[in-house]
Structure 1
Amino acid sequence: MAGKQLVILIAIFMLSLVNTVFAQKQWSLQECMDYAVQQNKNLALSKLDVENKSIDIEIAKREKLPTLNGFSNISSNFGQSQDIFGNNARNDNFSNSLGLSSSVSLLNFGRIKNNVIKAEALVNASKEDVELVQRNTRVQVLQAYLQVLLQKEMARLIDSSAIFSNLQLQKIQKSTDLGVTALSVLYEAKANYSRDVQKKAAAVQQIDKALLALKYAMNMEEDQEIQVDEKISLIEELLKTDDKYRSYSNMMWIDHPLIKKYQYLNESIIAENKIIRSSLYPSIDLSVNVGSFYFNNLTQGFGKLPYMEQIQNNFSQQVTLSLNVPIYNRNSVKYNLQRNKILIQQNAEQLALDKQQFSQEMQGYLLDYKNYEKQLVLSNEALDNTRLAFDISQKSFDAGKISIYDLNISRANLLNAESETIQVRYNMAFSKLLIELMATGDIRF
C-alpha cells in the first residue's frame, strides 16, 4: 500500500513538474506568429479552397483521355401488329444488347488545354489569397505582442515608482516619529504611495487585457497560459536606424501576393476567353462501339435460338467520327465575350484600388517611422533633463528647500517623461516591423 502511494506521489510530482515547465515557456514573437498562422480558421478555409480548386486541375487534364462505358439493355414486346397488307400477326419477342463504348475529342480548338490553364491560374490565385491571410495574421499578432511588451514595461516603470514612494514614505515616517517632519508631509507621502499602488494594479490589468488580445490574435483558448519573451534587446535592436526600411516603398511590389493574385485571375479570364471562342469552331469526336445483341421471336417458342451462339454471331464493331458545326447559338458567345472583357477591366480597377490603398498605408507607416525617429531623440533629451531636474528636486527636498508637493510634481514629470519615451520606442519598433511585414510578408531579426 505504501508503495502505491509512493508511485502516486511521484506521478503527481512529475505532472506538476511538466506543467511548471510548460507554464514557464516564453513565446518569442516569431513563435507567436507561426502558431497563429497554424491555428487561423480563415487560413484553414483558404487552404481548403486551394485543395478544392486543385481537383479542378485534375478534372480538366483528364478531359484529354477517352471515356469508356459499358452498356446493356433487355426488352420484351407482347401483342400484335398489322403489316402493309392489312394482315394481323402476333409480334411477341425478346431482345438483349450489350457492349462497350468509348469516345475522345480529336479537335476542340484548345478548349481542353485552356480549361487546364484556367484551373491552374485559379489555384495559384487562391494560393496568393492564403499568403495575404498569413500576412494579415502576422500583423495582428505583431501588434498584440508588442502591446504586451509595452504594458509590461510600463508596469515595471510604475512598480519602480511605487518602490521609490514606499522608500520615501518610510524615510518621512521616521522623520515624523522624531518630530522633525510635519504630519501633513507624512499623509501626502502615504497618499502618493497609495496612488502608485493603485496605478500598479491598473497596469497589471492592462497586461492581462493585452495578453487576452494576443491570445485572440493567435486563436488560443482563453484558459491557455502564455508568457511572452520580455527581452528588451529585441526593442533595442529595432530602434537602430536602418536605411533599408526607407527603400521598402520601392521594392514592396516585387513578388507581392496582391499583384500575383490579380495576374493569375487575369490569366484565368484570358483562358476563359479562348474557351468561349472555341465554341465558334467545329469540333470532331471519335467514338468506338463494340457489342452484340440477341433477338428471339417468342411466337416460335422461347429458347429455340441459343443465347450465347447468337451473341457470338452478332458481335460487331463500329467506329464513328462526329463533326459538330456551330451555326446559331443565340449570340451567347458574343455576350459571354463581352462579360469576359468586363471582368478583365474589373480586375484592373480592383488591383489599382488595392495598390493605391496599400501604398497609402505603407507611406503612412514610413512617415510614422521617420517621425518616431525624431520623437525618440527629442524624448530622450527631455527625459535626461527631467531626470536632472528630479535629482535636484530630491536634494532640495532633503535639504528642506522645497515641499513634498513640489517633489511629487517633479516625480510625476519624470514618470510622464519615461512613459512617453517608452511609448515612442515601441511605436517606432512596431512601425519598423510592420513596414517589413507589409513589404516582404515576414520579419527577420
Structure 2
Amino acid sequence: MKKNFIIFFVLLGIISQAQVKKWTLPECVEYALENNITVKQSELDLEETELNKKDAFGNFLPSLNLNSSHRWNIGLTGDPVSGTNVNATTQTSQIGIGTNVDIFRGRQNINQMHRANLEILSRQYQLDDMKDDISLFVANAFLQILFNKEQLKVLRGQQQISSQEFKRTTDLVEAGALPKGDLLEIQATIASQEQQIVNSENALQISKINLAQIMLIEDYENFDIEDVEYTIPPSSILNESPNTIFEKAKETRYDIKIAKTSVEIAEQNLKINKGALYPSLTGFYNFGTSYFYNKLNPTLPSFKDQISDNKGHSLGLQLNVPIFNGLSTSNNVKRNQVNVERTKNRLEQASLDLQTSIYQAYNDTKGASKAYEAAIKTLEAREEAFKYSQERYNVGLLNAFNYSQSQNRFEAAQSEVIRTKYDYIFKLKVLEFYFGIPITDIN
C-alpha cells in the first residue's frame, strides 16, 4: 500500500511538470496587458474622463432644488396677517422649489462638452500608447530568453565535443602518443565551459524572471516560454524609405495623436475662458408658500389654509454682464493662449522626435542586418578552421592549446551569430512597429 502511494505521488509530480505552461509571445503580451498595474490605472483614468463628460452634459440641464426653513422670532417682529409689529415669540415656516437654466454663457457649455470628448480621446490614446510600450518590453524580454536558450544550447554542444576529446586524449596520453599537457589543456577547457554554462543558466533564469515580473507572474520557478527556434522573419520594411515609414507613423503612432489632441484641448480651454468675457443670461422660476404662527393671535388661519393661501410664483431672466473682475478673466484668456502655443510646440517636438527615432531605428536595423550577415560568414570560416584544427589534432599535428583556441573562436562565432540574430529580429520588429505591423508577429 505504501509503495502504491509513493508511485502515485511520483506520477503526480511528473504530470505536474508536464503541465507547466509554455508561453507564446502573443500570450505573454496579452497577459501583461490584462494584469499590468499601470494599464489598470490608466483604464481608471479613462473612466474618470467619462464622468467628466457627464458633468459637461449636466451643464445643459436645468437645476431643480427644493428648499424649506422654519425659524423662531423672539421679540418685535412683523405679523404678516395683521400687517403690524408685535412683541411676541412667533414661528415661520417656508417651503419652495426653484429651477434655473442657462440660456447663454458664451458657448461655454458647448465648448466644455467638446473638451470632455477630446479628453476621453486623449486618455484612450494614452492607454493605447502605454500598451504599445508594454508590448515592446515584453517582446524584448521574450527574445532575450530565446537568445539565452540558444546560447546555452551552443555551450552545452561545445562541452559535449570537449568531453569526447577528453576521452580520446586520455587514451592517447595513456598510450604515450600525446603528452600529459594536452590532457590538462582539455581539462582546463572543460572547466571553463562548465563555468560558462553555469553563467548562461543564471542569465537564462534571470531573463525568465524579468519577463515574469513584467507580466506580474510570481511563480518564477515554473515560468517558461515555448521552445521554438525563431529564424529571421521575412520583411520588406527596409525597402521602404525612412521618410515613408515616418509619414505612415504620423498617422498611427499614439504619441503624435496625444500631442495633436492636447492642442485641440488647449484650444477648447481658450474658447471656454473667452466665453467668460461675454454676458450670461439665466432663466429662473420659483414656487413657494409659508406658514406663520403667533400664540397671541388666535385668529390666524390654520396651517393648511395658510399653506394654500400663501402660495406664490416668481419667474424671470437674469442678465450678468462682466465689466471688471480684477483682470482675472482676461489673464486666464492670455494664459490659455500661451498654453495653446506651448502644446503646438510640443506637437512639433513630438513629430521631430518620432522622425529622429525612425531614422535611428532604420539605420540600426540596416546595421544589425549587416552585422548578422557578417557573423554568419565569420561562423562559416571559424567552423571550417575548427574542422581543420580537429583533423590536425587527431593526427597529432596540432597541440591541445592551439586546438582549444580554435574551438574557443568557433564557440565565440556561434554566440555572435545568436546575438546578432536576435538583435536584428528585435530591431526589425521595432521598425515594422512604426509602420503599423504588430510586434507579436515575429514568425
Q: Name which of 423, 432, 440 aligns with 2:436.
A: 440
**Farther off after superposition, 356-365 or 62-71:** 356-365
Please provide the CA RMSD for this pair: 2.8
* 1:27 paired residue number: 23
Cα displacement (A) at 1:147: 1.0
C-alpha separation in 2, matches of 1:425 and 1:398: 33
* 2:355 paired residue number: 359
Cα displacement (A) at 1:310: 1.4
1:58 aligns with 2:54: yes
Letter in 2 for 1:425: K
Q: Name which of 94, 102, 107 aligns with 1:110.
A: 107
1:141 aligns with 2:138: yes
1:314 aligns with 2:310: yes
Cα displacement (A) at 1:123: 1.9
1:172 aligns with 2:169: yes
Q: In structure 1, the residue corresponding to 2:285 is in which secondary structure? A: strand
Cα displacement (A) at 1:224: 5.7
Cα displacement (A) at 1:436: 2.4
Cα displacement (A) at 1:307: 0.4
Q: In structure 2, the residue corresponding to 1:292 is in which secondary structure? A: strand
Cα displacement (A) at 1:6: 13
1:398 aligns with 2:369: no
Letter in 2 for 1:126: R
C-alpha separation in 1, matches of 2:7 and 2:169: 52
C-alpha separation in 2, matches of 1:201 and 1:130: 41
* 1:422 paired residue number: 418
Q: In structure 1, the residue corresponding to 2:270 is in which secondary structure? A: helix
* 1:407 paired residue number: 403
Cα displacement (A) at 1:55: 0.4
Question: In 1, are the aligned partners of 2:253 and 2:434 still within 8 Å (CA)?
Answer: no
Which blocks of at least 5 consecutive residues in structure 1 are unaligned? none
C-alpha separation in 1, matches of 2:389 and 2:149: 28
C-alpha separation in 2, matches of 1:50 and 1:261: 14
Question: In 1, are the aligned partners of 2:138 and 2:214 still within 8 Å (CA)?
Answer: yes
C-alpha separation in 1, matches of 2:202 and 2:39: 31
Q: Deviations over 1:63-96 (max 9, x none)?
A: 111111111111222223799xxx9952442221
C-alpha separation in 2, matches of 1:440 and 1:11: 52
Cα displacement (A) at 1:442: 3.0
Q: Deviations over 1:224-278 (max 9, x none)?
A: 631112311x333258886359653331111321121122222222222121122
Q: In structure 1, the residue corresponding to 2:164 is in which secondary structure? A: helix
Question: In 2, are the aligned partners of 1:90 and 1:299 still within 8 Å (CA)?
Answer: no
* 2:289 paired residue number: 292
Question: In 2, are the aligned partners of 1:135 and 1:441 still within 8 Å (CA)?
Answer: no
Q: Name which of 313, 326, 329 aligns with 1:330.
A: 326
**Mapping for residues 145-294 of structure 1, pairs under 5 Å:** 145-221=142-218, 223=220, 225-232=222-229, 234-237=230-233, 243=239, 247-294=244-291
1:132 aligns with 2:125: no
C-alpha separation in 1, matches of 2:237 and 2:321: 70
Q: In structure 2, the residue corresponding to 1:181 is in which secondary structure? A: coil
**Mapping for residues 93-104 of structure 1, pairs under 5 Å:** 93-104=90-101
Q: Name which of 375, 379, 392 aligns with 2:375.
A: 379
Equivalences, count: 436
Q: In structure 1, the residue corresponding to 2:228 is in which secondary structure? A: coil
1:43 aligns with 2:39: yes
Where does structure 1 differ by over 4 angstroms across 4 or more consecutive aligned residues?
5-18, 238-242, 244-247
Cα displacement (A) at 1:394: 1.0
**Farther off after superposition, 156-165 or 238-247:** 238-247
C-alpha separation in 2, matches of 1:378 and 1:435: 21
C-alpha separation in 1, matches of 2:395 and 2:236: 41
Q: In structure 2, the residue corresponding to 1:317 is in which secondary structure? A: strand
C-alpha separation in 1, matches of 2:99 and 2:382: 90
Question: In 1, are the aligned partners of 2:126 and 2:254 still within 8 Å (CA)?
Answer: yes
Q: In structure 1, the residue corresponding to 2:251 is in which secondary structure? A: coil
C-alpha separation in 1, matches of 2:129 and 2:288: 56
Question: In 2, are the aligned partners of 1:245 and 1:435 still within 8 Å (CA)?
Answer: no
Q: Name which of 81, 87, 90 aligns with 2:87.
A: 90
Q: 1:189 and 1:146, CA in 2 relative to 1: closer, same or farther beyond 3 A?
A: same
> TM-score by structure 2 length?
0.90
Cα displacement (A) at 1:160: 0.3
Cα displacement (A) at 1:120: 1.5
C-alpha separation in 2, matches of 1:332 and 1:52: 29
Q: 1:225 and 1:362, CA in 2 relative to 1: closer, same or farther beyond 3 A?
A: farther
Q: Deviations over 1:307-334 (max 9, x none)?
A: 0011112222222211112221222222
Q: 1:391 and 1:15, CA in 2 relative to 1: closer, same or farther beyond 3 A?
A: closer
Q: 1:9 and 1:178, CA in 2 relative to 1: closer, same or farther beyond 3 A?
A: closer
Q: In structure 2, the residue corresponding to 1:300 is in which secondary structure? A: coil
Question: In 1, are the aligned partners of 2:173 and 2:179 still within 8 Å (CA)?
Answer: yes
Q: In structure 1, the residue corresponding to 2:51 is in which secondary structure? A: helix
C-alpha separation in 2, matches of 1:78 and 1:442: 80
Q: In structure 2, the residue corresponding to 1:77 is in which secondary structure? A: strand
Question: In 1, are the aligned partners of 2:278 and 2:321 still within 8 Å (CA)?
Answer: yes
Identity %: 21
Cα displacement (A) at 1:180: 2.4
**Farther off after superposition, 210-219 or 50-59:** 210-219
Question: In 2, are the aligned partners of 1:162 and 1:193 still within 8 Å (CA)?
Answer: yes
Q: 1:49 and 1:9, CA in 2 relative to 1: closer, same or farther beyond 3 A?
A: farther
Q: 1:345 and 1:170, CA in 2 relative to 1: closer, same or farther beyond 3 A?
A: same
Question: In 1, are the aligned partners of 2:166 and 2:187 still within 8 Å (CA)?
Answer: yes
Q: In structure 1, the residue corresponding to 2:355 is in which secondary structure? A: helix
Letter in 1 for 2:74: F
